[in-house]
Structure 1
């Protein structure tokens, strides 16, 4: 129970931080709630305000465009159906006398100029003959060759087709216009009347050069919902379906834009698109103001919390000082906090402090006595070099008594122990490691009652290469243990390629795959019986410790065909 209380992160929060936290929570929660409510309220007001503004502007644009198209329709009816101009055109087609034709042409031009003058929102007017591709009676000079088939179709109805917006064919203006084409009611003739809107008809609509400060962009959709004109051809390419056409809503979002749409009675639509970041500009300004107020409010709250903490800090600091010196010094402080509850706790702490220091003195004396006993015990422990000194004495006794076998055995054992009692992890050279293996094999040949041959083939270029101490003996020991008997053969080969390659091969009974895995990865009783109980697991751990993944240990063996152990080590020269 006490451990859980100590490990609880809440218990590590200082009194100062707790006061500040509680004060901030109690003051900020009402402000945050009020801020959230205000945000959603203001956000709703701003959204309605912006959307209503966009929708209102769009309706004005729609009304302007409808009026212009209605004006085109009205003028085209005057010039195409049963009016004075139509009659003169019919007479012109039938007249062959040149002087009469000239007079009729003048009258037609006069009528067209009169109608154009009385309708200032009308621009270019001309008659077009689709069979020949010619045009006539134009009231302005044409800028380029007239190609009606390339005009963007905005809406198509029985008897009249509306185009646009597109660049005007009139040579007197260079701006976007709308146009219409209607078939003229003349028998036995295929003539179309082409009319454009005038210079000032759509001054505020579809004139990008005049709307540099206006961030909105406009689109025109035909009856099918296909974009016939776009001021943003990258995200809303012309001749493509408008992305929001499938939605029944009159507004929505697409990519990084907010769009709003108004549809005319004839079925075509006008769409306004505005970048979302500009749409949210007013909201962001309001959020910035609220954020500044919020930061100021937090600063004031922290200031009050700090004053509140200072009011109780002085009494608590005395109590805190006494607790901190609990195990640092045994001197007592008689100063009180003048708060009854804290003074009572201070007296209890000081009493506890006295008892702790008394116990600390007793423990210190006991530890000193125990350390003295340990030193005395160490004085009587046997030094490991005593064994080598004793073996050296046995060696000289064997020499004096003429016992060469015992002399040879003791001398080899002494050299091997001296080599293997080196510091843990101390590196050695290939030459020294081979010498230690030879001493080991000499001991084993005396120990075992069967004959075996050992062939050691070492490239002289590898003698100075550094390798971990005591890495070859466990492999040779493993070869002896796992199959060498009468007429056994062990071949040790060390050569230098890209890596140091060490191979130990025997002609013993071999091992199965399961035995190899157990020898490498499992600490079984069998592996612990090998030599000094270190074996393959020791070699594997040494390789991992010294080389990481750069070294490799491989074992290849088949039952009855012997075993090959290969080490591949990175090269470090001494």
Structure 2
């Protein structure tokens, strides 16, 4: 019954190992390739899409700035010819003087001034004075087509009274059919004087300004340039096709052709919009090319995978399985499994070296465990006994005696507290102490620091009942409080909170928290590495690395110091310790 059940479960798989191997290899190529393809598709799609979109937006922004620059130049140049000045006076004299010679001389000066403005601003084209009452042009620098009427040109600015911007429209220049922008501004000569014939300055951009501004080179693909008025009607089309006719509403065109084209637009300061229309096929051209390349690579990868599967099955599948089993046993720390032979020279040599390596790994693991244990012990011993206690004690006693003789009670108190802290740190009470001993040393240490420094800080100590008698390694709490003082708020007033409580029946929880400046992760890592020459030595020079090593030495590798910090908020250091000390070194 069990055999039949297993058979039914395996009906979907090929019966022979060869076919199963090929099926699995095919799936092992197809599935990762599909997943990688999907991830790559979305990733590369976003990259290419953003690249194209940002490129189009950047080029469109440059065109907008170019249009604004052209219109600003028109405005500035028209002001030069319209405002009261020498040219204004010459124009006024020209209109009021009847003497032909004087008129000829004044006309030459005005034409020279117009030529100078055109020369200094290459974006300008046709420049002239215009009399709307008689539709007469004066001092034009180019031949004017008499069939065109300025009043027929579309206006860009509808609300301005003293000047009007037209365009884009066909140039008045006889020998060109290109589109241009133009400005017509009333001169100060006729402004406000009802008896004077109104005179306007009329200036066009040169005939190549718009065509040179709109080109496809920055986009890297065929594009259609449009300009829209304030009502979103098309006033310019670089291709002049029927799909985007002049005067059409761009909103209705988007609704009708949105599935075929991609639209980008931006607004200028002069009330017109610049738009770019791109065929979707051209817009997604890079993405489509990438998909074709990826499909070709996928098919090639599948073929290569099947070929490799055949080679693996025919040459090394069986021996590889045996070797894999040996590695698996090694990963399970089963070092004493008997050697096997595959009766194949190459694989037997490989297994021979593998067994040598297995033996060497077992020896190295044992050696490393012993060395690490000794290293931790020696590092702690080195830190704890790096000073000569007898010499220091004698020196401190002498200093205390001299201070008492001289009546310096504050120094006597300072030396007394420092001696008590030093005696504790140098191990007079043994390496295993109680929580109460550690708390008392912290109090002495903080009292010593408050004497040393002018700035004040508070220390709040909260110890649960029943925890004072619990044993723990000596010199654990003081380095944590010391770090909070020196690396926490430094010269800033603050509060250090020390909490000792029972986490549960088996563990003791210790927390040292400050509300100081906080530390970055880089600073925390430096504090954990005592061999870093750039680490700033403070206090007794024994930092978080010592605490972390001591905890691991006495309680094992699963336990250690945890530090969390937020810049501007503060730092918290936490220890979770077993009630029973795992390992005690003999003094």
User: What is the TM-score with the length of structure 1 in the denominator?
Assistant: 0.47
Higher Rg of the two aligned structures: 1
Normalising by structure 2, report the TM-score.
Answer: 0.46
